Amino acid sequence: MNKETLMYDTIRPVSWQDNGVRLLDQRQLPEHEVYLHITSTQALYHAIKDMVVRGAPAIGIAAAYGAVLAAKEAASKANDGFEQRFHDKLALLASSRPTAINLFNALTAAKQVNNPLHHLLAWADQWLADDITANKRIGSHGAACFGKGVNVLTHCNAGALATGGYGTALGVIRCAYQQGKLNTIYADETRPWNQGSRLTLWELQKENIPTTLIADSVAASLMQQGKVDWVVVGADSICMNGDIANKIGTYSLAVLAKHHGVKFMVAAPVTTIDINAKTGADIIIEHRLADEILPNYYKKTTASALNPVFDVTPANLISAIVTEKGVIESPDASKMQFLIS
């Protein structure tokens, strides 16, 4: 079988199975491929918060199925007060991660489903299917921006593991690789959680797509040497002026790309757009515990650490935002209106 006939689409990190949410435990990759069976909103809250599942679209899908669990739990008591109990369960899920807008978009949409106890599962299944369809369109639109022999660099993991399947940034890379357009794929290790080395490298290797892992600090020298043509990343939130929030380190890459004349692409579905965020200043940046980055020795001292999970990249550093609706070059507030119309 040649490359043109392969689809590079075998990974599904979130699904519904046996009356619960089936999650690939991404904390255990790449050493172990373990799936968890989640049957309560409390357990799903912890799974999202503790990064069993991560990536804005995948979190949104998990939340969609979480709404199914919430309805079942709310209905387990007397009929009176179902709506309040249901909304309380959704509020718990909403509190798990503050920056991934897909989480809130999914939970808001779930509240609009009529007769949720009977209809939410079909709705959540469609939410998953729509995400995969959108990712494949994103991949096609993004790959069309490339010529032949392109060198790309990606940060964090915006692949099948961060979505329903196929991926956003890695969807672009998958499609471009299938079309024979890519020369080299570089993946940042992505400190401090190493999503690049643990996840991006794992899923691309799993589908036999050759990838070169680099330390985050190598990106500048590669650009200086002319070895990067495009940086391709995902997004956890997109603002109405084209600013984006993504994994910490994305802004650094955008600044480097601008300096070296490298193009910078953001690939994400329209569900990532936060219509309430006019600019990046409106995005709530999640900060995690210092213990996640402090060596054990310093945990017994007064040493402190700053551990933001995301940063904001201004629209003027972005060459193109790619969604399932198409490509917006040099995004700004007026062009962003196209994506929500």
Residues carrying an active site annotation:
236
Contacts of 140 (CB under 8 A, 6+ apart): 175
Q: Which of 39, 18, 36 is nearest to 27 (CA)?
A: 36
Closest CA to 65 of 21, 23, 28, 108: 21
Q: Please state whether the peptide bond connecting residue 192 to the residue before it is cis, i.e. omega within 30 degrees of 0.
A: yes
CA–CA separation, 266 vs 204, rounded Å? 19
Measured between alpha carbons, how far is 271 from 134 in angstroms, rounded to an integer? 10
DSSP state of 330: S
Measured distance CA(334)–CA(242) in Å, rounded: 9
CA–CA dist 10, 58 (Å, integer): 15
Question: What value does the CA radius of gyration of the chain take, rounded to a whole number of Å?
Answer: 20
- Expressed in angstroms, the distance from the first to the final Cα of the chain is 41
Around Cβ 221, how many Cβ atoms within 10 Å?
11
Length of the chain: 341
According to DSSP, the residues that pair with 15 across neighbouring strands are 22
- Which secondary-structure segment (H or E) carries 102? helix 101-110
